[in-house]
Amino acid sequence: MEVYVRLGPGLSQLAGVPRLTVTLEPGATVHDLLSHLRERYPALEAALGSSLPVVRGTSVAGDHPLAPDDEIAFLKPVSGGSAGR
pLDDT digits (tens, 9 = 90+) for 60-72: 999 999 999 999 9
Q: How does DSSP assign 30-52, residue by residue?
A: HHHHHHHHHHH-GGGHHHHHT-E
- Is 85 inside a domain boundary? no
CA–CA distance, 41 with 53 (Å, rounded to integer): 17
* Local structure of residue 64 (DSSP, 8 states): P
CA–CA distance, 71 with 6 (Å, rounded to integer): 7
Question: How many structural domains comprise the chain?
Answer: 1
State which residues form the domain around 38: 24-69
pLDDT digits (tens, 9 = 90+) for 21-33: 999 999 999 999 9
- Is 1 inside a domain boundary? no
Q: What is the amino acid identity at position 62?
A: G
Distance, first Cα to last Cα, the chain? 48
- Is 19 inside a domain boundary? no
- Is 74 inside a domain boundary? no
Q: What is the pTM of this model?
A: 0.86
